[in-house]
Chains A and B, each alone.
Chain A
Amino acid sequence: MNKTLWIKLAAALTVCAAAAGATFIAAAFGGASSGGTPIAFGKIGNSATGGGDPSAVLAAAVKQVPDDTIASASIVAPPAGAANPNLPWLHVAVRVPSLQNGLDVRPMWIADLVQGELAEGIGTSSDLHAGLEGSTFDAVLPDGTIVPDESGGMGDVVRGQTFSTGTASQVSSAIAAKLQGLGLKPVSIDVVAIPDAAPEVVAIAPDPTNAAENLVNIEKTLFGDPAQYEGYYLELQAPDGTPFVHASAAFRTGAGRFWIDPRYASVASEKTLGRINNDQRGRR
């Protein structure tokens, strides 16, 4: 059996295994392979419309940012060591209020949305990553300090996902109704369009522990499953107004960002993979 057939078989069996209930069993698989079927978060429907000039597509995307989050954005050559030096690379300087307690999530998400529009607009491959090598997001702190390479990357995501193009009013109304159904109290609901609708929601959770436990369900209820919007930002606050979750997703780059107050991390249904502790050093 050739490699392509193995990959197709692997993908088909993986889907079956997942559908059977979050189980993966690899008994049917052969040796190592690279790559895989790109991820689709939303419905597929758009015909490919890429092939645009990178600088022009980027300029159009940045123009849609509703505030001054993006200090600068440019197409640059990939950094040293990148595998495909001839592909475009996005460099963004992102203004962040702080790098502590998740306050970088929302600004970096805006850069993710810009990158998503860029990736969709310039490539032609079914995998958006094939047209955009990657990105570097520098953080610009309020005192002007620049933290280089704070974030950035590019997932393997399917071209041509379709997302809501509803008006801000339509999207806000829909989400307000869903917040009520979830027992969450809206603080603010804003909608950015880079280029499609992407809601940013701040809400109070009367019971933060319960909200943390059900966080993935909350996100899917508010923003759709499959994803209804091209991305979202969600901030949950405790009844006293203290944020305990900052979460975002950008479904054209695959970038998912997450911070949770450590008091709720152990019960949350959404996690960041753990930082490895090296306290065994020196035992050899």
Chain B
Amino acid sequence: MLITRSRVHVGMRQVHVGRRSAVALVATVVALVFAGVALANEVGNYQWDSNYGTRATVAVSSFSPSTNCIASASYVTSTDSNRQLQIGQLLCASGYGVDGTCSLSNNFILYVERIPATGSAVCYPHGSASGSYLLTVDDSAGSGTFYTYASGTQYEGQSGYDSSRFFSEGSEYTGSSCSGWSGSTSFSGWQYYNLALNQWQYVTSPVGPSAQCWSVSSYNGTSHSFTVSH
């Protein structure tokens, strides 16, 4: 499924577009509702769109889903949103799961999910989670292959990326309601990998935040941190 910000777009377009476009937009929304199309998981994140990697200390304070699942992760995503690699911490409510094997028994886990440009997603659990990791997704060789790391331990990689990709740090709720769940995660010491200088540098002015259901704090340019909570 594609996480969109359709609600944001709807709101903006209702204000700014003419009558004909507005009618078309309403018709589209109505059609989507009747088709039962999933418009959104609920995400709260910041993005950074250059260079060769992202890393931050991702510390989960609490996850409490009564339905569905909550994750906090580091991501690389192709610009067209088709290819994606993420490493994070995940907890699903009883009776819910991700891809069949991740947090299948409402256990709090470390995971990697990779989505190919075409084809189906796959999730790999990497044991019980501790709550706090330096989560990294990087291509330190500049070869188009990104690898994932949790506090220095390497996990899955994914090849095939070109320069059209961006990075995210944030949280996600897999349901489409803003009620019945809570969660809080801090992201601190956010850095990007500067391949030209062969070193990690702090992210100073990320894009965002995006805050569907979530409350995302202002980005602290001194501690290079923010929190995502609900």
Interface residues of A (CB under 8 A from B): 6-7, 10-11, 14-15, 17-18, 21-27, 29-39, 41, 79-83, 96, 99-100, 102, 104-105, 108, 127, 129, 134, 139, 147-157, 209, 216-217, 219, 225, 246-251, 253-259, 262-267, 269-281, 283-284
Which chain A positions have C-beta within 8 A of B107? 14-15, 18, 39
Q: Given A26-B132, A81-B157, A149-B158, do A255 and B120 touch, yes or no (CB 8 Å)?
A: no
Q: State A217–B104 Cα separation when bound (angstroms).
A: 11
The 10 A-B residue pairs with the shortest CB-CB distance, nearest first, are: A256-B101, A36-B127, A256-B100, A274-B3, A266-B38, A34-B151, A26-B131, A265-B38, A83-B154, A256-B99
Q: Which residues of A are found within 8 Å of B60, using beta-carbon distances?
A: 24, 26
The one of B81, B113, B160 in contact with A273, judged by C-beta atoms closer than 8 angstroms, is: B113
CB contact between A104 and one of B4, B86, B119, B151 (< 8 Å): that residue: B119
Given the interface pairs A156-B126, A271-B68, the reply to whether A262 lies near B37 with Cβ below 8 Å is: yes
Is B53 located at the chain interface by the 8 A CB criterion? no
Q: A23: which B residues are within 8 A, CB to CB?
A: 62-64, 91
CA gap between A255 and B118 in the complex, in Å:
18
Interface centre among A24, A35, A134, A283 (most CB of B within 10 A): A24
Contact A284 B205 (CB under 8 A): yes
A-B contact pairs, 18 of them (CB 8 A): A10-B131, A23-B64, A24-B64, A25-B62, A26-B60, A34-B152, A38-B127, A81-B140, A81-B157, A147-B119, A149-B160, A150-B116, A246-B120, A266-B39, A270-B100, A272-B99, A278-B47, A281-B47
Pick from A7, A37, A81: contact of B145, CB under 8 Å: A81
Residue of B whose beta carbon sits closest to that of A217 = B95
Residues of A within 8 A of B79 (CB): 278, 281
Q: Would you call A272 and B115 a contact (CB within 8 A)?
A: yes
